[in-house]
Amino acid sequence: MPLNKPWQQYDAASPPRIPGTPGVFELGDTDGQVAYIGFAGGKSRYGLRSEIAARIAAIPGAAFRYEVNLMYLTRFVELLEKHYDLHGSLPASNTAPGEYVPGIVRRRVRAAPGGE
């Protein structure tokens, strides 16, 4: 199940209150389409707060939504797979060089007709 939370705008001058906990998040483009799916894990210094702040600058006009989740890697895989099921591809920013895509998702994308 994808995140069913409302999109929130991010203003760097007065950042919204985002918890410093592990979880998953989505960044949406100006059309409200998911442009990036990410997670904040045990190595994220300030959890969701820092991960969203670091990623949102790369997508002009992006909005965000998040879910606090201690099983963030499992939920991250689930969100990527659900997006792939619905759209036939991963979000554009998740396919950039150097982005982490779990092996189980990479294998699924490659195995699909017309996959990588």
Instruction: Summarize pLDDT for 5-57 with one digit per residue, the tens.
Output: 999 998 877 778 999 999 999 999 877 899 999 999 989 999 999 999 999 98
If one compares 79 and 1, the residue with the highest pLDDT of the two is 79
* Residue 116 pLDDT greater than 90, yes or no: no
Q: Give every CB contact of residue 24 below 8 A, 6+ residues apart in sequence.
A: 3, 37, 38, 39, 40, 66, 67, 69, 72, 75, 76, 79
Percent of the chain with pLDDT over 70: 97
pTM: 0.91
How far is CA 43 from each of CA 16, 17, 47, 78, 86, rounded to the nearest angstrom? 22, 20, 8, 20, 30
Q: State residue 111's pLDDT score.
A: 84
Q: Which two tokens stand for residue 32?
A: 């409200």
* Residue 112 pLDDT greater than 90, yes or no: no
Task: Set out the domains of the chain in order of their start, with CATH numbers.
Answer: 8-111 (3.40.1440)
If one compares 88 and 114, the residue with the highest pLDDT of the two is 88
What's the rounded Cα separation, in Å, for the pair 16 and 103? 33
Q: State residue 114's pLDDT score.
A: 66
Cα end-to-end span (Å), the chain: 25
